[in-house]
Structure 1
Amino acid sequence: MRHRPDRLFLLMGGVQGLAFAWGLPAMVWWVVDLRLSPFRLAALGTALVLTILVTETPTGVVADLYSRKYSVVAAYAVMGTAMALGPVTEMFGALVIWQVLWGIGWTLQSGAATAWMTDELAHHASHSHRSAALMLVESPTSGEDTEDEDSDIARTDHNRQVDGLIVRHAIFRSVGVMVGLVAATVTGAWSVRGSMAAMGMLAIAAAGYLAVTMPEAGFESPRRRAGGAPRPARTGAWNDAITLWKRGAWLVRRDPSLLAVTLSAAIAAGAWEANDRLSALRLFDLGLIDLSSREAVLFFGAAWFVMSALAIPMMTWLRRRLERSDADEQSGQRDACLLARFLTIAAVGALALALSPWFAIALAGWAVLDVAGETAYSLTEAMANRHAEPAVRATVVSFVGQSQAVGEVAIGLGLGVVAQLVSLPVALAAAGVFFAVSAAPVVLVARRSG
């Protein structure tokens, strides 16, 4: 049984949302029950992003060399295992190990899922285009100019479809977060740790479903395609991996727009990591200090549900905008300016969370930060995918993910230390400043191209 790649790609977004929703009971367990310090919370995040930093590019290269489908399937199986085992013990070392395992799972699908979808849609479109060309072969008006024009139109339509699907994937991720939050809140009111284990088992079940239903007709391993004399398996695979890695790195360095997106993603990810780990502590200090773990699950479940619901109309607007735009330089310039605006809005929300002495304003700032950040993340992925060459698409998108991991390690851990040694508001305010700084690279590229 095989399903349409666009629908399966949207399903993957829902499963991603489920994995993100696991953070609700995990955060409540860490903050309320285990009473982890700001530094230990930041250390858990650092363990996660260090893993992503080390494994992001290798897993992207493996997906480009062997199979993007089975890379995605393995990703959700590994993440589900980490989610299910997360609440088994309260030992901090074990918590770090589960974060490392979750990070490995995340990198297995990061880049590979988008590359798989893009190739499957291109394969389907190429077959449809060839069928239409055969019907026109005997027409007196058919010719090379007409075929070239049809190819350009088909390519533009394909790019629009892919951009729209990337944003729809983010919309389904928000829906998955909402569904996961409802499940986590209901089961978390009974047992926070039981909720974490149950959500991990659901992710493993999703991996099994994808293994059966995902096609992979649009991908051919470069090692099978190369032909020629047989080589030793280990040597050939290693050489191919190095070649693809170098090619992806060259493209990131030589394409100004892709380089700007990568730099912006690195800075913004560091600010996001600090807010992701420390925002709950800030809200607890402002008015939630007396909540039990069940009450905290209910409160944060409701807050995250509302923020996910607010992100959906923004994602829908972004999808329509990308589907209407042409794949030209002016469109890229407009996208860069839009990304800068979203990052600036996120900076405003982060500063409100950090500096406001009133709980309601801090909560509103947290919501603004979350919605703007999610939209900026989706736009970043669409822009990176558009500039990547088909043969190294998973590798290039993984480069962007790796740059985010670099920022999370360098900036996120540093802000965790600031929160521990100076104060929580100062660390969160610095994160807001980093959000504003992250808009600078894409603004510079937009002005140069303009």
Structure 2
Amino acid sequence: MNHLETKHVYYTMHVIISLASAIMFTTYAIYYIEELGLNPLQLILIGTALELTVILFESVTGVVADTYSRRISIIIATFVLGVAFILEGSIPFFTSIVTTGFLSAFAFLLVAECIRGIGETFLSGADQAWLTDEVGEAAVPKIFVRTNQLRLIASLVGIVISVALASIALNFPFIIGGALYILLGVFLCIYMKEKKFIRVDAESKNPLKAMISTFKIGISFVKNKPILLMLLIVTVFTGATSEGFDRLWEAHLLQALEFPQIGSLEPVVWFGIIQFIGTLISIIVMEWYQRKFDVNKPKVIRHSLFYFTAAQVVVMLLFAVSTNFYGTIICFWALGIIGSITAPMYQAWLNQLLESKSRATVLSIMGQGNAVGQGLGGPFVGVIATRYTIRAALVLGTILLLPAVVLYRNVMKK
């Protein structure tokens, strides 16, 4: 498999993942709130269940990817995620035949999210580690940026499909999204190759010993690189912030603001319009940014992460306190632009700092840090949202991001 084919497999994988995610998550909050009847605290607890699963399995699956095969880890992930999402979409069917309180929609959703968490850990870090090994560290920054642009384009298509499916039945997007993950798994079985991965020598003699050895190498590598420790702390705080915002922004729009009366547009259509326009804006800005600045340069990456994270704090605060519908939506679009720029920058910088033999393990440790932040910050924010207001919870989530800004500032100075 040559260099271009490797890129194209990576692009295809993330286009399908983004398409499936947009189909499912454009209208998922309406499905959770209106069909399954979840309250703000339950919305957060669903996320907590996901993150606790990630915390438990992230390092283990990362070690599997470094010890045995990144390709196998990714393929396992796609099938597990497909099953989890189809299960989520099937909850109305299960609850219609099981009426006991213990087996409620919330309980089924918890199980599905735990299965999803296992799938996410098999994917986390393995895809980036596979790509970096196959094409080389110098090539990955531009590939990550281009991948993010393709993901956004796929999201545009997914948003339209999501609204159309949810207009028929709110659970349909999850059924279709899960099916796309299954098809992706089949595609990767056929076309994904792994030529440059080197298994741990001891694996064939003592698999457990090999996995423990790989994990120790990853931990030692992080401990001996202050910049990685800093990034680990940053990802804890960004995780704590993102969990509250990702789970509550739709509920904030539904409960705290009034949707404009334009024709007979339902909230499900409004969410589709909002995310479609926001994604389109992000694509345009991301293309301009990567043409304007050399995203391969470490200095550009560091400055981008600091300034955009600082801007994220300001915009999130405005989003939380704004009482004007259109002003709130503009803030939401601005946050989308910030995320589309910072995400590939962070991925590129992190992968450039890592060694091949422990890359997936260290990436999993970073993912674990994010999960810890979400697992600790999410329930706290959820309690505030339930006891007081969602607006207060969003303000609190914004405050949790401030330490990340300080840490990025320290790195930029040094």
Q: 2:323 aligns with which of 357, 361, 365?
A: 357
Paired with 2:382 and 2:295, the residues of 1 have a C-alpha distance of 42
2:237 alignment counterpart: 267
4+ aligned runs moved over 6 Å, structure 1? none
2:60 alignment counterpart: 58
Larger Rg computed on CA atoms: 1
The two structures have a TM-score, normalised by structure 1, of 0.83
Return the offset for 1:294. Answer: 8.5
Q: 1:241 to 1:14 in 2, by over 3 A?
A: same
Residue pair 2:293, 2:300 contacting (<8 A) in 1 also: no
Paired with 2:19 and 2:57, the residues of 1 have a C-alpha distance of 22
Paired with 2:290 and 2:227, the residues of 1 have a C-alpha distance of 20
Residue pair 1:187, 1:194 contacting (<8 A) in 2 also: yes
Residue pair 1:39, 1:416 contacting (<8 A) in 2 also: yes
Paired with 1:315 and 1:272, the residues of 2 have a C-alpha distance of 21
**Which 5+ residue runs of structure 2 have no aligned equivalent?**
93-104
1:298 alignment counterpart: 269
Q: Which amino acid aligns with 2:313?
A: A
Q: 1:67 to 1:323 in 2, by over 3 A?
A: farther
Say whether residues 1:390 and 2:356 are aligned partners.
Answer: yes
2:25 alignment counterpart: 23
Paired with 2:296 and 2:342, the residues of 1 have a C-alpha distance of 17
Residue pair 1:168, 1:319 contacting (<8 A) in 2 also: no
Provide the secondary structure at the position in 2 that maps to 1:263. helix
1:196 alignment counterpart: 174
Say whether residues 1:416 and 2:382 are aligned partners.
Answer: yes
Paired with 1:290 and 1:365, the residues of 2 have a C-alpha distance of 21
2:79 alignment counterpart: 77
Provide the secondary structure at the position in 2 that maps to 1:439. helix
**Identity among equivalent pairs (%):** 28
Residue pairs, 1:274-313, within 5 angstroms: 274-285=244-255, 286-288=257-259, 295-313=266-284
Paired with 2:223 and 2:291, the residues of 1 have a C-alpha distance of 30
1:48 alignment counterpart: 50
2:196 alignment counterpart: 218
Q: 1:440 to 1:390 in 2, by over 3 A?
A: same
Return the offset for 1:300. Answer: 0.9
Q: 1:50 to 1:289 in 2, by over 3 A?
A: farther
Residue pair 1:12, 1:169 contacting (<8 A) in 2 also: no
Return the offset for 1:379. Answer: 1.6
Paired with 1:86 and 1:26, the residues of 2 have a C-alpha distance of 10
Paired with 1:263 and 1:321, the residues of 2 have a C-alpha distance of 30
Say whether residues 1:343 and 2:357 are aligned partners.
Answer: no
Map Cα deviations across residues 38-94 of structure 1 (whole Å, 9 max, x no partner). 100000111111111111111111011111112111111111111111121242111
Residue pair 1:349, 1:365 contacting (<8 A) in 2 also: yes
Paired with 1:324 and 1:281, the residues of 2 have a C-alpha distance of 35
Map Cα deviations across residues 137-159 of structure 1 (whole Å, 9 max, x no partner). xxxxxxxxxxxxxxxxxxxxx51
Q: Which amino acid aligns with 2:141?
A: D
Residue pair 1:39, 1:419 contacting (<8 A) in 2 also: yes
Paired with 1:307 and 1:411, the residues of 2 have a C-alpha distance of 26
Map Cα deviations across residues 113-172 of structure 1 (whole Å, 9 max, x no partner). 1111111114xxxxxxxxxxxxxxxxxxxxxxxxxxxxxxxxxxx51x211111222222
Q: Which amino acid aligns with 2:336?
A: D
Map Cα deviations across residues 400-450 of structure 1 (whole Å, 9 max, x no partner). 1111101101112211111111221111011122223321112112212xx
Residue pair 2:238, 2:404 contacting (<8 A) in 1 also: yes
1:237 alignment counterpart: 207
Q: Which amino acid aligns with 2:249?
A: S
Provide the secondary structure at the position in 2 that maps to 1:192. coil
Paired with 1:443 and 1:266, the residues of 2 have a C-alpha distance of 17
Return the offset for 1:321. Answer: 6.8
Return the offset for 1:373. Answer: 2.6
Residue pair 2:81, 2:119 contacting (<8 A) in 1 also: yes
Q: Which amino acid aligns with 1:215?
A: K
2:34 alignment counterpart: 32
1:131 alignment counterpart: none
Map Cα deviations across residues 340-390 of structure 1 (whole Å, 9 max, x no partner). 111112212211121111111112212222321342222211111110111
Paired with 1:15 and 1:405, the residues of 2 have a C-alpha distance of 24
Return the offset for 1:277. Answer: 0.5
Map Cα deviations across residues 206-242 of structure 1 (whole Å, 9 max, x no partner). 110111001111112113xx59xx73xxxx1111111
Provide the secondary structure at the position in 2 that maps to 1:216. coil
Which deviates the most, 172-181 or 199-208?
Answer: 172-181
Return the offset for 1:261. Answer: 1.8
Residue pair 1:20, 1:177 contacting (<8 A) in 2 also: yes
Q: 1:323 to 1:78 in 2, by over 3 A?
A: farther
Return the offset for 1:317. Answer: 4.6
Return the offset for 1:101. Answer: 1.2
In the comparison of the two structures, how many residue pairs are matched?
398
Return the offset for 1:290. Answer: 10
C-alpha RMSD of matched pairs (Å):
2.3
Provide the secondary structure at the position in 1 that maps to 2:371. helix
Paired with 1:324 and 1:32, the residues of 2 have a C-alpha distance of 43
Residue pairs, 1:178-189, within 5 angstroms: 178-189=156-167
Q: Which amino acid aligns with 2:275?
A: W
Paired with 1:261 and 1:204, the residues of 2 have a C-alpha distance of 33
The two structures have a TM-score, normalised by structure 2, of 0.90
